[in-house]
Structure 1
Amino acid sequence: MSDSVKTEKVDYSASIPMGPLGIAAVPGCEALVERVDAYLAMWRKDRDNEFAGYKKDSYVIDVDLPRFGSGEAKGVVNTSVRGDDLYIVADVTNYSLTYKMYGIENCMSPDDHFQNLKRVIAGCMGKAKRITVILPFLYESRQHKRSARESLDCAVALQELVAMGVSSIITFDAHDPRVQNAIPMTGFETTVPTYQFIKALLRVEKDLQIDASHMMVISPDEGAVGRAIYFANMLGLDVGMFYKRRDYTKIVDGKNPIVAHEFLGTSVEGKDVIIVDDMIASGDSVIDVAKQLKARKARKVFVCASFGLFTKGMGVFDKAVEEGLIDRILTTNAIYQSPETLSRSYYVSVDLSKYIALLIDTMNHDTTIEPLLSPTDRIQRRLAEYKERQRKEREEQK
């Protein structure tokens, strides 16, 4: 559990749940669902609501996805979901799972995980009252627009889920939230876990001076400007931005290689900087940005990204930390985190299980989730507590 496990002060006594709550974990995200389930069971235990099936030791629905020797699979739902308000969670990035095909061990790809998600939905046979899919990392979100004769994979995937009866989709920090235009009549929520990042950073860094003279938020490219501005506004800081100059005459690993990062913004000399992005893939881009910030005499460099894919392993980041380019990397536990990643002293895991539990609990009661999507008050309270603690420590040292 996280450092705060108290029941949230939300009054659900006047609201009737949409239906009995059920949570299904597509293989690969069981650890996250287990933590979410523990929060829900704890919160509901002390409530007055006597709705049938409201209080349980666990809300997890048992599912199986066995495979045949040919590699084909099927979804089996072992628990009744008739009339349930069902939430299905899937981590399409979990590369640690394998299956055998003709005796050969294969790592599961995002395509395999998405097929498993559809199998679980199909296994419910239309009996659930409502199905909400939680895809922390939106499947194929990087293939969200067309620039030539190419597929629009994310849009097609969203339409497939809706065609199967999914009522709503929840994701975090979608690469481009405009992809929801593919399903305009279906619920689609994407949220940036800014509060959770700030909370985690303040927990591990005790001597930050959070003002525009000592800190700055950096967008590593033009696509991340929106989230960087929101992050900076919450902390009362200035924003700087890099834009990627690419070589459009070449394609390497499916994309045009970056020639250079050009900086737009005020001086970062002597300041702590927070690089904010949606994901870290190979790490080449964020390390190059950190290198340029250090060349401009930034003091400390913190990297906050919703998803740490780390496709080239942690070695490149070990080297960057040793060279003094990066001080901390923060990514969430919404997707698979390898033991190699978790073992790094500079790495900070940002827990989203409580936040996901709050979303599920609120949606199950069919009430607004707007306060959870815009946590301005919670962020300001956390900042005030941090500054007050610093003030007391300074007084004690006198």
Structure 2
Amino acid sequence: MRFFVLKDSNDLGVAVADTLSIPVAPHEERDFKDGEHKARPLVSVRGKDVYVLQSLAGGGGASVNDKLCKLLFFIATCRDNGASRVTAVVPYLAYSRKDRQTKSRDPVTTRYVARLFEAVGTDRVITLEVHNLAAFQNAFRCQSVHLDVRKLFVPAIQRLAQGLPLTVFSPDSGGIKRAQLLKEALEAIQAEEIGFGFMEKRRSREVVSGDLFAGEVKGSAVIIVDDMISTGGTMLRTALACRQRGAKAVHVFATHGLFSPGCEALFESPAIDGVVVTDSVPSASRAGSEPTSRIEIVSVAPLISEAISRLHTNESIADLLGEEDGGFLSAAETKEL
């Protein structure tokens, strides 16, 4: 096995390698003054099972497009130099928001990005908590592996609840399935019923509307869960609605802490007791390291490293992909089982 980590995701990559007890394979990355760049392995990849980790969130001086292009070129050069198999480990997969046409002539970028990975010879893509699981699975013709993080969140939720009854809440109708799966994971461990609810949300030309509020939150600790936090407006809107209806505590959980400009309102609002995200993107770790931060970071390194280990040795990863719920198995993995 060769495990490469492109520099924009170095911290997470090193943590994954440490958990796997393998070294990060050396490589070169060079940026040219006109904005072009190159990356190449500094060790032989001929006949090797190659894994390349790069999270595709903008920041740290590089755009989403720069990171995507660099990852694709690196995968291609590994194939050109004889790698037997190349797996892209992409904790945050960019361009997943546009998974269908909602207006005339809309792009479907989920499908376009899949074609780019396939065009350079990617054998498999591993990612975490995509925006729309069905769209992700249908977009790729190569093997796709979706890792669900809800088990990582359960210990933090149990600790933060502080004995209050729990309600898992989705900030929009598109996230209902995600919230339901987290609710079921908590109920399986706690052996007690967990509340559930969601809000209506419609977005058009950056204007958010919708007032429907479904669920009972009075007197409970509300766990609002989503795949990502960008500006945090959706989460804050939901938190305020929960507080108005008597929630005793509100905690926000998301896999990807993108934290775009404007997210300050989320962290400063008294409606929210805290924010829990993973280290899937560097911006989350940077925000969580601030002395006054209200952000708690849960590492996804153990989850990713276990998936890589099992895939490399051709072992089943059903327990990482949702066990018996049937919603998180790739087509190839389902056939194996």
Please identify the structure whose Cα radius of gyration is greater. 1
CA distance in 1, matches of 2:2, 2:126: 16
Q: Which of 230, 233, 253 matches 2:181?
A: 230
What does the per-residue CA deviation read over 1:61-110, in whole Å, with 9 as the maximum and x for residues that have no partner?
222221222111222211111111111111111401x3xxxxxxxxx111
Instruction: Find the residue that maps to 1:74 and give its secondary structure.
Output: strand
CA distance in 1, matches of 2:211, 2:297: 28
Do 2:148 and 2:322's aligned partners in 1 also have CA atoms closer than 8 Å?
A: no
160 and 339 in structure 1: CA distance in 2 versus 1, 3 angstrom threshold: closer
- Mapping for residues 120-199 of structure 1, pairs under 5 Å: 120-124=74-78, 125-147=80-102, 148-177=104-133, 178-184=135-141, 186-199=142-155
CA distance in 2, matches of 1:160, 1:315: 35
Q: Which amino acid aligns with 1:109?
A: S
Q: Which of 294, 297, 316 matches 1:368?
A: 316
Instruction: Find the residue that maps to 2:71 and give its secondary structure.
Output: helix
TM-score (norm 2): 0.88
Q: Which of 70, 90, 111 matches 1:116?
A: 70
CA distance in 2, matches of 1:80, 1:199: 41
CA distance in 2, matches of 1:226, 1:206: 22
Q: Which amino acid aligns with 1:335?
A: V
Unaligned 5+ segments in structure 1 are 1-20, 42-57, 99-107, 377-398
CA distance in 1, matches of 2:313, 2:263: 42
Do 1:282 and 1:312's aligned partners in 2 also have CA atoms closer than 8 Å?
A: yes
Do 1:245 and 1:261's aligned partners in 2 also have CA atoms closer than 8 Å?
A: no
CA distance in 1, matches of 2:44, 2:148: 34
TM-score (norm 1): 0.75
CA distance in 2, matches of 1:329, 1:375: 27
Q: Which amino acid aligns with 2:274?
A: R
318 and 151 in structure 1: CA distance in 2 versus 1, 3 angstrom threshold: closer
Do 1:245 and 1:262's aligned partners in 2 also have CA atoms closer than 8 Å?
A: no
User: Which aligned segments of 4 or more residues in structure 1 are displaced greater than 6 angstroms?
Assistant: none
What does the per-residue CA deviation read over 1:339-364, in whole Å, with 9 as the maximum and x for residues that have no partner?
34432442110111011110011111
- Mapping for residues 264-303 of structure 1, pairs under 5 Å: 264-265=214-215, 267-303=216-252
Unaligned 5+ segments in structure 2 are 188-193, 325-337
Q: CA deviation at 1:27?
A: 2.0
Q: CA deviation at 1:313?
A: 5.2
The number of equivalent residue pairs is 313
Determine the structure 1 residue equivalent to 2:328: none
Do 1:195 and 1:375's aligned partners in 2 also have CA atoms closer than 8 Å?
A: no
Aligned Cα root-mean-square deviation (Å): 1.8
Q: Which amino acid aligns with 1:88?
A: V
Q: Which of 268, 272, 277 matches 1:331?
A: 277
